[in-house]
Structure 1
Amino acid sequence: MDTTLRDGEQTGGVSFMPHEKLQIAKALLRDVCVDRIEVASARVSEGEKKAVTSICGWASARGFINRVEVLGFVDHHVSIEWIISCGGKVINLLCKGSQKHCEQQLRKTPEEHIRNIIEEVEYAYARGLVTNVYLEDWSNGMKDSPEYVFALVEALRQTHVKRFMLPDTLGVLNPLTTVEYMRKMRRRFPDLHFDFHAHNDYNLAIANVSSAVLGGCNGIHTAVNGLGERAGNAPLSSVQAILKDHFGIKTGIDESKLYTMSLLVSSCSGIPVPQNMPIVGGHVFTQVAGVHADGDNKNGLYQNALMPERFGRHREYALGKNSGKANVLKNLEALGLELTPEETKRVTERVIELGDKKEVVTPEDLPYIIADVLKHDTMKETVKLESYLVTTAYGLKPSASLRIEIDGKSYETNATGDGQYDAFMHGLRDIYENRLHRPLPLLTDYAVSIPPGGQTDALVQTTITWELNGRTFRTRGLDADQTDAAIKATIKMLNSLG
């Protein structure tokens, strides 16, 4: 069960718009094919009600409605009626899984709390809702008051509760205590369905998920990119890979959609994915050390079961101070370039030299480096920017005028856009798509970096990621002006297309 839209939205600074929630819900159920999604907490806001209503409407029309769940509270049926008014069919009822929470937060006896829960469960059943229960603070409950936990579950097992969801609410478990507590629940209640909900406060969410599986749990809660309260939840992509590779468990997840799912949630949440995050991080399928690239040529000596193609990605070979000849050869091969051993050695030395200066070297830089090192026209520039003017003014759309030479012929155009660079790209697309009838790559990522220190005349490096016919590649430009740097990166892209 994925809880990106509920617990994931409890990440600091994250608030999804209703249309974003619908888009993410569609992708999770239809494309990634998770079993269930938890989409909201009841009674939060009118915006949340709009989001849940739209998700439930879409899910009902496609037969997914029983896979959409909403967190509700023991609140004299208010949450139940809220969920029903949105078109929901499943409530995840929040109960107290530790005696401490029951007595100190609710100020009720265990008997009173159990009686109130049963009233909600029976009312939900009468109103046609499926009920799961969260035992909030279950991990501390098992540590400090296990008999309270057992009495609570014993009372609720006689009702219409479908799933018992066991959260490590404060992230206090470790792998040993997780498997111990889960096995105690399984031995005591072998016929019940238990979900495990991990939190990552000690960076143990994934380890605890593995232990919960060993302990016999029936379901795992995840969030895309590990979003969630405080340090977050167990990441969907990592849980899927571990279940398949380490436990041999077959799920319905479409692994090839996990990366695009990660990008979508990152874009909507505004929370960037760490470059080294397993499965979905920008650098996790990049070989940096030359010896690793060499090993890939020798029966995949430095590869494991996490092949990039499995997740809709591809292997890259970094260029920098740790590059060896094998890295350079791999990139030359991808670009369709062939050099002699001596030429390759000289190019490798230049790449290492640039890396020592902390310069970023992309594969698309290689033809320029080759031309510079070998002092001949290895990189033939078929596209030359002759002149351009970009302007912006208050109250007017930014505009661009440009003249560009393509295969020896000059073209001029004018265009407007939402920004100076956008206006430039609109002009470029007019020339390429309307006059030359050539496709232009789709811009999929745009990153700007500047040196620390805050000088306004510092050089700006703009790195742009492009996609064309399933091929993804990057080009970069360096200039004191961000727009000029982006334009330089764009001209590199055009020349790399040939």
Structure 2
Amino acid sequence: MNYTGVDTLRPNLFKEMFPYSEIPKVVFNNIQLPMEIPEDIWITDTTFRDGQQSISSMTVEQMVKIYDYLHNLDNGSGVIRQTEFFLYSEKDRKAVEKCIERGYEFPEITSWIRANEEDFKLVKEMGIKETGILMSCSDYHIFHKLNMTRKEAMKNYLSIAESALENGIIPRCHFEDITRADFFGFVVPLATNLMKLLKESGIPVKIRACDTLGVGVPHAGVELPRSVPAIIHGLRYYSNVPSESIEWHGHNDYHSVVTNSTATWLYGGSSVNTTLFGIGERVGNCPLEAMVIEYGQIKGNTKNMDLKIISEIADYFERELKYEIPPRTPFVGSEFNVTRAGIHADGLLKNEEIYNSFDTRKILGRPAVVAVNSYSGMAGIAAWINGYFDLDDSQKIDKKDRRLLPIKKWIDNEYENGRTSNIRNDELKELTLKYVPNILGNEDTKAI
């Protein structure tokens, strides 16, 4: 096949945007692109591939357990559609075999391999239908890492894709460093040539747009190559890549990984690649749990996903993998919906919706709770009791209940004597059972 391309003798490193001696710059062109959310959008997972490179190596049993969790979280919805594994080691292959034996439809097992014939044979022998293949796109990589010209890189990448198709394997082409690549000089020609292979073979060819250094920008009106909307729009309209063949893989170097992934959906890409809790190289990948919530906001529902499983996975990571999730991490941290301010506690006591944007108890299995300290007051103590003992409306303690007075006095004495830490749950439980002994029966609430 004759491949089209744009060659150049010198690399285009976009030094006006990436001067290196300064923070990268955002260049605006004020071009407004249309939002075109695909009817079907979904999430893919790379916890076992990109994610596992950043934490202690998982055992076969741990990988299988987490795969079970992903399946249970998806719950037959197809939203968490795929997960990818390395196939380099005997341990990785054993884990894949065990996961395949589960027979789950979702998430589908895919792989990531080196671009050689032996690895293609391995993929085929294991019955895996799709594999990731690295195709570095920026001149930083082509000229300075691979020591190739664009023409040589193009020929090499396309020959690898052809080998995958000849083996009946769907190639998922990882366009590494796309947010520093010459979009019209290399990305569009490569994507266009890959779509020709799709047309000739009748086998899907996918493109994973990789924001390798996290420099992508989600805002409208930003110049390429940093513009996520322009990249997704451009793949669709200049290279005729169908939405279902476009996937985004981001990193969080500039705190934009979630908004960049969301922008992919908004501007026409069907798939976003994630890891559990955002684990991954350097500052990590896009958190899977964040995109589950983004999916729910965009689509207006979460299908039949079981979001309570997210809390179970977080517990498993901390207990079995010794992975510490920062306590204020949205949706999964131990304190993501814990309030300390007395005025907020009073609001929660009056109506939980005042300081909780959705029913975290019902959806995530995590009730809104109050941490009690020197600023909590009677409202904070009452809110803690109601939350900790999971009291319904007929049982709830009011902040004017005089049985709270000795608890408040004990807490005040603690801080007057120099305490600086929060009152622990076990301490509060003991105090509550002492001064409100009928709390679970809660016969009557005596106001002050």
1:236 to 1:80, Cα distance in 2 relative to 1, 3 A: same
Q: Whose RCO is larger (CA < 8 A, sep 6+)?
A: 2
Residues 3 and 221 of structure 1 are in contact (CA less than 8 Å); yes or no, is this contact kept in structure 2? yes
Which whole-Å CA distance do the structure 2 matches of 1:137 and 1:107 have between them?
16
Letter of the 1:50 counterpart: K
Residues 349 and 383 of structure 2 are in contact (CA less than 8 Å); yes or no, is this contact kept in structure 1? no
In the alignment, does 2:91 pair up with 1:47?
Answer: yes
Which whole-Å CA distance do the structure 2 matches of 1:71 and 1:367 have between them?
50
What is the deviation of 1:55? 2.1
In the alignment, does 2:46 pair up with 1:3?
Answer: yes
Residues 29 and 36 of structure 1 are in contact (CA less than 8 Å); yes or no, is this contact kept in structure 2? no
Partner of 1:88: 128
In the alignment, does 2:185 pair up with 1:155?
Answer: no
Which whole-Å CA distance do the structure 2 matches of 1:202 and 1:235 have between them?
14
Q: How does 1:69-468 map to 2 (within 5 A)?
A: 69-75=110-116, 77-141=117-181, 144=182, 146-160=184-198, 161-176=204-219, 177-192=227-242, 193-245=245-297, 248=300, 250=302, 253-299=305-351, 300-305=353-358, 307-333=360-386, 335=389, 341-354=401-414, 357-366=419-428, 368-369=430-431, 378=435
Specify the SS of the correspondent of 1:83.
helix
What is the deviation of 1:343? 4.4
- Please give the per-residue CA displacement for 1:277-311, whole angstroms capped at 9, x wherever unaligned: 00011011222222222212333322213623211
Partner of 1:427: none
Letter of the 1:184 counterpart: G
What is the deviation of 1:48? 1.9
What is the deviation of 1:174? 2.5
Gaps of 5+ in 2: 1-43, 199-203, 220-226, 390-394, 441-448
- How many pairs were matched up? 368
Specify the SS of the correspondent of 1:232.
coil
Letter of the 2:381 counterpart: V
1:368 to 1:308, Cα distance in 2 relative to 1, 3 A: closer
Partner of 1:395: none
- Please give the per-residue CA displacement for 1:242-292, whole angstroms capped at 9, x wherever unaligned: 232256475563222111122223444322111000001101122222222
Gaps of 5+ in 1: 372-376, 381-470, 472-498
1:366 to 1:305, Cα distance in 2 relative to 1, 3 A: closer
Greater displacement, 130-139 / 182-191: 182-191
- Please give the per-residue CA displacement for 1:149-169, whole angstroms capped at 9, x wherever unaligned: 111101111113432110101
Which whole-Å CA distance do the structure 2 matches of 1:42 and 1:273 have between them?
28
What is the deviation of 1:218? 1.2
* Identity within the alignment, %: 22
Residues 135 and 176 of structure 2 are in contact (CA less than 8 Å); yes or no, is this contact kept in structure 1? yes
The structure with the larger Rg is 1
Specify the SS of the correspondent of 1:159.
helix
Residues 94 and 135 of structure 1 are in contact (CA less than 8 Å); yes or no, is this contact kept in structure 2? yes
Give the TM-score normalised by structure 2: 0.74
Letter of the 2:214 counterpart: G
What is the deviation of 1:138? 1.1
What is the deviation of 1:134? 0.9
What is the deviation of 1:320? 1.2
Specify the SS of the correspondent of 2:46.
coil
1:319 to 1:201, Cα distance in 2 relative to 1, 3 A: same
Specify the SS of the correspondent of 2:101.
helix
Superposed CA RMSD in Å reads 2.8
1:258 to 1:154, Cα distance in 2 relative to 1, 3 A: same
1:378 to 1:248, Cα distance in 2 relative to 1, 3 A: closer
Residues 251 and 257 of structure 2 are in contact (CA less than 8 Å); yes or no, is this contact kept in structure 1? yes
